[in-house]
């Protein structure tokens, strides 16, 4: 029975966050598994250049608390590393470290912020869709990997949990290439499960103090939820997390793919929950992305919700829609589009929907939130 630890954390005051992280390590007995001589990788979610209060990236206070805990255990060789969306280069990394608050954490603690943009292949014998991935160098060099993600809804995968957070281990624009290779949601999520089996993080922590709801992972809205959840088993963590934010685990494609392989049970009773009982309760007003639900379904009688949702998704399709008043023509959407269906004309982005695979990478990477997720009647 897999242990999932969920504890209360009222806000990002360091004392509160440190207490939550210290309790998490103690309850999961992590202290005994980390040696002082280890090189420890902390892998946050640094999707793009956003400030901590925008709830797009892992909050720096959570990273600081993890570093403080590691240092209390005698660990000195600590590196923070992620490959954000878009290009993977030193300039972009430094900009994101500064905006996200990671530079401030490094200045306080003396830990390393990775600027090495090398990568190496890593095999995955358990993979179904992928038997090998190119993975950023700090992952290869680590003795112990702590994945620290941000709880968010997601336009393509419904939820951004422990499994999805590891997509940042793939370097730069190789991520859109994987979107292109696996352009169906089910196949893409199977690939993400392969990636999780390839990386095998030793500990996964999710920052749920302030989450993102709605059209995440970058276009949604902050939502105060006041919890931190962690587990050595990231697949079981995602089962709990989906339930925590009011989802049926079967409707989260990464969770469903994991369960079909026997990596987790969809039965909530099979989880061993530890921590604060108050934190185990579901948040039932969490807004979902428009790509996976429509607002009125929540008002349909529960017994009819599943067939109505199937009918809606059969008759309507979601697509990225550009707000030309907001669009600044920066080209980030075109850069991240795996099928190269976006052109910049007269300083505005234009989408060729004929070749759009509905991965929503453009929506994800737009720095000014000029791309929204909309629905239209499906054409025959």
Whole-angstrom Cα distance, residue 83 to residue 86? 9
CA–centroid distance for 330 within its chain: 24
Residues in the chain: 380
Whole-angstrom Cα distance, residue 195 to residue 45? 16
Closest C-alpha among 168, 71, 111 to residue 103: 111
26-44 pLDDT, tens digit per residue, is 999 999 999 999 999 999 9
Whole-angstrom Cα distance, residue 133 to residue 19? 36
3-state secondary structure 72-113: HCCCCEEEECCCCCCCCCHHHHHHHHHHHCHHHHHHHHCCEE
- Average pLDDT of the chain to the nearest whole number: 93
288-320 pLDDT, tens digit per residue, is 998 764 444 544 566 666 675 565 555 556 789
pTM for the structure as a whole: 0.88
Confidence (pLDDT) at 295: 44
Q: How confident is the model at residue 355 (pLDDT cuts 50, 70, 90)?
A: confident
Task: Please give the structure tokens belonging to residue 184.
Answer: 């169906």
């Amino acid at each position: 029975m897999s242990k999932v630890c969920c504890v209360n954390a009222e806000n990002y005051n360091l004392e509160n966050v440190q207490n939550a992280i210290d309790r998490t390590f103690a309850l999961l007995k992590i202290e005994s598994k980390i040696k002082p001589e280890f090189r420890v990788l902390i892998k946050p979610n640094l999707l793009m250049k956003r400030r901590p209060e925008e709830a797009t990236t892992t909050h720096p206070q959570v990273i600081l608390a993890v570093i403080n805990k590691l240092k209390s255990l005698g660990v000195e060789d600590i590196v923070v590393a992620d490959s954000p969306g878009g290009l993977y280069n030193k300039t972009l990394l430094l900009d994101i470290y500064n905006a996200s608050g990671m530079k401030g954490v490094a200045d306080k603690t003396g830990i390393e912020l990775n600027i090495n943009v090398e990568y190496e292949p890593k095999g995955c014998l358990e993979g179904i869709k992928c038997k090998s991935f190119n993975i950023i160098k700090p992952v290869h060099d680590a003795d112990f990997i702590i994945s620290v993600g941000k709880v968010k809804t997601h336009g393509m995968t419904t939820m951004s949990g422990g499994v999805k957070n590891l997509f940042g281990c793939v370097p730069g624009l190789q991520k859109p290439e994987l979107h292109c290779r696996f352009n169906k949601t089910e196949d893409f999520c199977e690939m993400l499960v392969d990636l999780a089996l390839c990386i095998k993080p030793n500990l996964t922590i999710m920052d749920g103090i302030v989450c993102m709801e709605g059209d995440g992972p970058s276009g949604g809205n902050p939502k105060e939820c006041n919890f931190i959840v962690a587990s050595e088993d990231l697949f079981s963590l995602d089962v709990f997390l989906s339930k925590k934010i009011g989802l049926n685990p079967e409707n989260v494609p990464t969770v469903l793919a994991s369960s079909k392989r026997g990596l987790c049970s969809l039965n909530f009773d099979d989880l061993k929950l530890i921590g604060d009982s108050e934190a185990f309760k579901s948040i039932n007003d969490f807004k979902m992305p428009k790509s996976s639900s429509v607002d009125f379904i929540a008002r349909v009688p529960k017994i009819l919700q599943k067939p109505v949702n199937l009918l809606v998704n059969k008759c309507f399709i979601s697509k990225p829609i550009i707000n030309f008043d907001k669009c600044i023509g920066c080209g980030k959407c075109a850069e991240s589009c795996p099928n190269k269906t976006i052109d910049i004309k007269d300083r505005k982005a234009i989408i060729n929907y004929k070749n759009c695979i509905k991965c929503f990478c453009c929506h994800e990477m737009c720095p000014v939130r000029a791309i929204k997720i909309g629905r239209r009647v499906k054409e025959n």
